Structure 1
Amino acid sequence: MTFNDPKPQQYKLTARASKIDPRAKAHPEIDFLIEGKNGKPADIENASVDTRVKPRGKLVIWLMGHNQQLFDRINSYGLHAIQVHYANRWFSICCRENPVGEHCRGNIRLEAATGQDFSDEVDIPKPDGMMERAYQFVKWLAKENPEGKWEYFLTEDGQGLRWDDVIMAGSSHGSTTAARFAKFQKVSRVVAFCGPRDQLQSWQSLPSATPENRYFGFSHVLDGGWTGDHYCRSWELIGMHKFGPIVNVDETKPPYKNTRRLITDFDVDGNARRAHSSVVPGRSAQKDQKTGKYSHEDVWRYLFTHPVDKVGQGVPQDPACKKNHR
């Protein structure tokens, strides 16, 4: 993949999912809307690429609210990036039983990602699932932004995405769905910020279409996902411990022992909410007091670009990490 742009630059594009694909619709039963209550569009999708940077031929699909600061960095690594609007608002509405069924949330995540019937709790058709929304968006981008060479990510027959060249990424709820989807569909890698969780679910231990060494995670130790043994559980059930120990990035330099499990413990004033969102670029992230630059630039680059075949020394599962939360 090479760019042939007479005016190399970073391109930032937005579009409404419902304008790209007329089949896209709202699902008010799970508070998933095309237009917000204020009348403003709720289905905006975002994309960016930088043709000044040599492309790696990988597409990042981000499953959370748009974060242009993160996209700027992803683009600087030579990666394409999109954020899609898909039926993901079910989380606070469905599977609220106590205890929740061990497949309830995992099945909804897979239905929301694929638009296939995996759950009795929701009815999410193909046009409103992540896979189809991403495919339709990339098709649109190929026409609207030919300088970005988006067509590279379409299959030869043009009927889908080349998932082997897709990096699934997200934070919190989004990272959990990214990891669940990667169990079903082989992808290039998974980048999970502050996740995955789903501590009462068992999908993490299912056979994975995506090789285990392609899952990467980064979270803060004061995040509730750590204090509740959610992240250590998911990371071990997925198999990430086979490729290195948990490494504190504030005490270790890249390539962080080639591990897949990264943590930080920088001072967040004991604020668990800040800790949760501190691992992506933004106001909660750590900055160098002298330069004002983010402290975890090397970590973000590592997560998205470290060669998946370079792995660390495996370690046993931690017996202190609670696996069964039932």
Structure 2
Amino acid sequence: MCTSAIARAEPAAAGRVHDLTARASEIDPRAREHPEIGFVFTKDGKPADTEHARVDTRVPSQRKLVIWLMGYNGGLFERLSGYGLHAIQVHYANGWFTKLYSGPPPADDLFLSNVRLEAATGEDHSPAIEIPKPDGMMERALQFVKWLDQKDPDGGWKQFLTADGTDLRWDKVIVSGSSHGSTTAARFAKYKAVDRAVLFCGPRDQFEVWQKLPSATPGNRIFAFSHVQDAGWTGEHYPRSWQLMKLNDYGPIVDVDTTSPPYGHTRRLTSAADVGGNPDKAHGAVLPGGNSPKTTGGQYRYEDVWRYLFTSPVEETGKAVPAEPCKLDQRAK
């Protein structure tokens, strides 16, 4: 009998990569399109509201959820799951950039700040747009994680839900994005306490001052990375934001091309790796993809940088340094 029992016993479940997609409009029937800002569910005959999730249960879990506020990047998600992180990319009402104004935004130091908060939270922060809760990032992320918990219980998604299932455990969330997603992630981290914010090629909003507002997320939990040939860097948009956010309290700006991890435990990283002098390539170089520099052996040069940004201990910081010279008032001629 003992032998028979052993024979019938199933082996312990082996870990695997859980890679899932779903349409936001199918997950939540309350979801709506907002064509007035280019926010639709179908574009050119193809789904435009697909959301992505990935976790690798072969890797010891960090028990953290990355919410990516930009278009899906498979190379990044492969690395995040390899670090033991859960990761989702959500479709939320963020298509308002070229719809609200042409040229510089109105002479309001918090105009984009309020728009970003409304898009992220689905709460009434701005008179310029009307984004209901089901179409904001927070609710889209919540509904996606609830769907993942039902469809993929072995993925361990439940740990990111509150006990009553009405909200995410934001203390376990890492918000991250690039370009406008980086800026919204930074603004959201000011508003809501999260485990960490990871900002690629940003934040921008160079005409606004929300960057110096009190922050719900402590500064030591905010990490940023830019290429110095990016127009947002040469125009002093990113350095200005980093300074207003007082990231210099956690160390100097460090060149990852000449410094080894952990980069002095700073929160401000840059690279000058060869991108052919092209600002557009520089903008995308900081993420896995065709524009990201590689070694002579064909490996991405920023592998250590990406791991540092998402996994380095937040308690370990560099020494505070004086603020570098920077044009803080960019409305001034």
Counterpart contact for 1:74–1:80, Cα < 8 Å: yes
Aligned amino acid, residue 137 of structure 1: F
Instruction: Write the deviation string for residues 23-58 of structure 1: whole angstroms up to 9, x where unpaired.
Output: 00100010000111x221111000000000000100
The equivalent residue for 1:83 is 89
Residue of structure 2 equivalent to 1:6: 13
How many Å separate the matches in 2 of 1:5 and 1:76?
21
Measured in 1, the distance between the counterparts of 2:29 and 2:12 equals 31
Tell me the CA shift for residue 318 of structure 1: 1.2
Aligned to 2:286: 279
Q: Is the 8 A contact 1:5 1:51 kept in 2?
A: no
Q: Choose from 60, 65, 70 the match for 1:64.
A: 70
Per the TM alignment, residue 153 of structure 1 is displaced from its structure 2 partner at its CA by 0.1
1:97 is displaced (CA, Å) by: 5.8
Q: Which residue of 2 aligns with 1:179?
A: 186
1:302 alignment partner, SS class: helix
Q: What SS class does the counterpart of residue 262 from structure 1 fall into?
A: strand
Q: Which residue of 2 aligns with 1:45?
A: 51
* 1:200 and 2:207 correspond: yes
Q: What is aligned with 1:20?
A: 27
- Deviation at residue 92 of structure 1 after TM alignment: 1.4
Instruction: Please name the residue that 1:32 is paired with.
Output: 39
Amino acid at match of 1:242: D
The answer to whether the Cα contact below 8 Å between 1:113 and 1:129 also exists between their aligned partners in 2 is yes
Please show how residues 93-108 of structure 1 align to structure 2 within 5 Å: 93-96=99-102, 98=104, 100=106, 101-108=108-115
Equivalents in 2 of 1:214, 1:272: separation in Å? 28
Unpaired runs of 5+ in structure 2? Answer: 1-10
For the 8 Å contact 2:105–2:111, the answer to whether it is kept is no
- The equivalent position to 1:138 in structure 2, one of 141, 145, 158, is 145
Cα deviation, residue 96, structure 1? 3.5
Alignment of 1:110 onto 2:117: yes
Q: Deviations over 1:230-289 (max 9, x none)?
A: 011000111111000000000000000000000000111110000000000000001112
Unaligned runs of 5+ in 1: none
Say whether residues 1:254 and 2:289 are aligned partners.
no
| C-alpha separation in 1, matches of 2:213 and 2:178 | 21
* Whole-angstrom distance in 2 between the partners of 1:137 and 1:190: 20
Q: Which secondary structure state, in structure 1, belongs to the residue aligned with residue 42 of structure 2?
A: coil
1:322 equivalenced with 2:327 (yes/no)? yes
Q: Deviations over 1:197-234 (max 9, x none)?
A: 00001110000000011110001000011111101100
Cα distance 1:129–1:5, how it changes in 2: closer, same or farther (>3 A)? farther
How many residue pairs match? The answer is 320
CA 1:34–1:189: 2 relative to 1, 3 Å: same
Structure having the higher Rg: 2
Letter of the 1:12 counterpart: D
Q: Secondary structure at the match of 2:100?
A: coil
Using the TM superposition, give the Cα deviation of residue 5 of structure 1 relative to its aligned residue in structure 2, in angstroms: 7.3
Contact 1:95 1:105 in 2 (8 A): no
Residues 5 and 217 of structure 1: CA distance in aligned 2, closer, same or farther (over 3 Å): farther
For 1:117 and 1:5, the matched residues in 2 are separated by 49
Deviation at 1:99, TM superposition (A): 5.2
Name the aligned partner's letter for residue 323 of structure 1: L
Is 1:311 the counterpart of 2:317? The answer is yes
Distance 1:115 1:131 in 2: 7
* Overall identity of the aligned pairs, in %: 59
Give the counterpart letter for 1:65 in structure 2: G
Cα RMSD after superposing both structures: 1.1
Does the CA-based 8 Å contact 1:95-1:104 persist in structure 2? no
Matched, 1:120 2:139: no
Q: TM-score, normalised by structure 2?
A: 0.94
TM-score, normalization by structure 1: 0.96
Partner of 2:301: 295
Q: Distance in 1 between matches of 2:76 and 2:105?
A: 36
- SS state of the match for residue 159, structure 1? coil
Contact 2:109 2:208 in 1 (8 A): yes
Output the CA distance in 2 between the equivalents of 1:116 and 1:49.
Answer: 30
Counterparts of 1:149-228 in structure 2, within 5 Å, are 149-228=156-235
Distance across 2 between alignment mates of 1:76 and 1:33: 32
1:185–1:209 CA contact under 8 A, matched in 2:
yes
Cα distance, 1:8 vs structure 2: 1.1
